[in-house]
Amino acid sequence: MLIFAGLGNPGSRYARNRHNIGFMAVEAIARAARAAPWRARFQSHACEATIGGEKVLLLMPQTFMNESGRAIGEAARFFKIEPADIIVFHDELDLPPAKLRVKLGGGNAGHNGLRSTTAAIGNEYRRVRMGIGHPGDKALVHPYVLNDFGKAEEPWVEDLCTACADNAALLAPHDDAGFQNKVHLFMEARGHGAVKRLGEKATD
């Protein structure tokens, strides 16, 4: 069994925030996989689906971003799931908008949701880093991530979430490279710019 956890803040006030793109991706995956209905469980909205031949628990923690790890850790302990079988979808300031990288472990780059998750389950979980770009000034980061995506951003946000959903089956057998490359090809085809292949050295 695996966990696909999206990071975000609960409630309609935050639903379209840049910080909530992890929720958006997991919701898209649930729809594409025809998951069971969402229900309250593990301090989260949770549902189950079969993806890539594996049983997957999809989570949207309702603990607010800074306490995401409480919910993810609770589910992981209940099902005895190892960190390498936990995939966390989150917004990434250090990637340009519409770009995506997958990595195992690494730093948290000031992301409070990742910091909380690492504190709860250790560092060796898999991260799907969904680029939202940087406002250019550290002082502007907080309002930037807690503002909604602009109208001009909505097409790539929808396409990136669709690409994650269409290719989520590759994450189940740990084909992270295949997943990343398929997403990049989809985004290129949709006109969202040239991207690096996984085989090219990334400066992450």
Active site residues: 19
For 75, the token pair is 């589910």
3-state secondary structure of 57: strand
Tokens of 148: 């909604």
Which pair of tokens denotes residue 121?
A: 């389950």
Please report the sign of the dihedral spanned by the C-alpha atoms of residue 134, residue 160, residue 65, residue 81: negative
Phi and psi of 112, rounded to 5°? -65, -30
How many CB atoms lie under 10 A from the CB of residue 68?
Answer: 33
Cα(73)–Cα(154) distance, integer angstroms: 32
What order do you get walking across the sheet with 86-92 strand by strand?
39-41, 44-51, 54-61, 2-6, 86-92, 126-131, 100-104
Alpha carbon separation from 13 to 16, 117, 123, 161 (Å, rounded): 8, 23, 30, 20
